[in-house]
């Protein structure tokens, strides 16, 4: 049962990643593109966790933690650059 | 067996919400509404997957790890901040002050208000112009 649920979740998050990629390529504005990149990092965290459940190792949690931090900090850096004209003031 | 059922339900729900969150990013009409889908639905989907992992490892292997809880808390804390920052940047770039309704009587939008303190860039620019720094 776990195997089928894992396959379903893999398919869902893979398709979600493809939707985000479409939005990154054909975005009407800059903020949409950054939002799509942020969502891509969130989906990659989910995929890494699913892979960890699939393989039965806890090794991938550090990778997903790093993805969470880097995604958040890059989005904040973009917003800071737009708002203040400089990232580290 | 019970843990397996719970984990399967959480995985299916997480996959569904993650897909809805990213499909909303393509489907919804304008940037401010598009902000809703990833910040709420995708975060819920990832949270469900992480909670499934948190239940699965002690039930199957007898190993209790707190990494998933840490990642879930981090995502739940940072998703509103991310949405707020992107909305603020979008308002700053694309809208003028006349197009927006007043947020509250006697108040102005924080995006258009003057900064409280002098930023490093302003100070550097003023120093280059040669005037004395204000104390």
Cβ pair B8:A28 closer than 8 A: no
For residue A45, being part of any structural domain is answered with yes
Q: Regarding predicted confidence, which is higher, A37 or B1? A: A37
From chain A, pick out residues whose CB is under 8 angstroms from the CB of B19: 12-13, 15-16
Whether B121 is covered by a domain: the verdict is no
B118 in a structural domain: no
pLDDT for B132 beyond 60: no
Q: Which residues of B touch A45 (CB under 8 A)?
A: 46, 71, 75
The answer to whether residue A12 sits within a structural domain is: yes
The whole-number pLDDT of residue B103 equals 75
Report the residue from B23, B65, B119 with minimal CB separation from A58.
B65
The token pair that represents A62 in the structure block? 């550090």
pLDDT per residue as tens digits for the range B32-58: 888 888 889 999 999 999 999 999 999
Contact A42 B121 (CB under 8 A): no
Residue A43 domain-assigned?
yes
**How many domains, chain A?**
1
Residue A78 lies in a domain: yes
CA distances from B10 to A3, B17, B18 (A): 13, 10, 12
Q: Residue A51: inside a domain, yes or no?
A: yes
What value of ipTM does the predicted structure carry?
Answer: 0.88
Which range of residues forms the domain containing residue B80?
A: 2-98
Q: Tell me the per-residue pLDDT of B105-124, one tens digit each, with 9 for 90 and over.
A: 777 777 776 666 666 667 77
pLDDT band of B63, cuts 50, 70, 90: confident
**Mean pLDDT score of chain B:** 84
Cα separation, B22 vs B99, in Å, equals: 29
Q: What is the mean pLDDT of residues A8-19?
A: 94
**pLDDT at res. B38:** 85
Percent of chain A with pLDDT over 90: 65
Lowest model confidence (mean pLDDT) among A24-33, A47-56, A66-75, B116-125? B116-125
Domain membership flag for residue A89: no
Asked if B94 reaches chain A (Cβ–Cβ under 8 Å), the answer is yes
- Provide the residue count of chain A: 89
What range does the domain containing A9 cover? Answer: 2-84
Choose the closest CB to A19 out of B26, B52, B90: B26
- Helix, strand or coil, per DSSP, at residue A57: coil
Helices B67-94 and A30-55 pack at an angle, to 10 degrees, of 170
| Residue B122 within a domain | no
Are A5 and B8 inside 8 Å of each other by CB? Answer: yes
Instruction: Look at residue A14 and tell me if it is in a domain.
Output: yes
């Amino acid at each position: 049962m776990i195997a089928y649920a894992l396959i379903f979740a893999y398919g869902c998050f893979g398709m979600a990643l493809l939707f985000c990629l479409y939005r990154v390529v054909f975005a009407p504005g800059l903020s949409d593109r950054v939002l799509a990149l942020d969502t891509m990092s969130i989906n990659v965290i989910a995929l890494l966790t699913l892979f960890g459940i699939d393989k039965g190792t806890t090794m991938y949690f550090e990778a997903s933690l790093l993805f969470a931090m880097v995604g958040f900090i890059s989005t904040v850096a973009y917003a800071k650059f737009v708002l203040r004209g400089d990232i580290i003031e | 067996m019970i843990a397996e059922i719970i984990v399967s339900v959480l995985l299916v729900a997480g996959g569904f919400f993650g897909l809805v969150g990213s499909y909303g990013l393509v489907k919804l009409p304008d940037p401010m509404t598009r902000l809703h889908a990833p910040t709420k639905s995708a975060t819920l989907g990832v949270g469900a997957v992480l909670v499934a992992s948190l239940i699965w490892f002690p039930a199957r292997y007898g190993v209790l790890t707190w990494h998933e809880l840490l990642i879930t808390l981090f995502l739940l804390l940072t998703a509103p901040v991310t949405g707020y920052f992107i909305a603020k940047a979008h308002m700053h770039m694309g809208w003028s002050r006349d197009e927006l309704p007043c947020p509250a009587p006697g108040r102005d939008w924080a995006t258009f208000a003057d900064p409280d303190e002098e930023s490093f860039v302003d100070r550097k620019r003023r120093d280059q112009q040669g005037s004395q720094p204000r104390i």
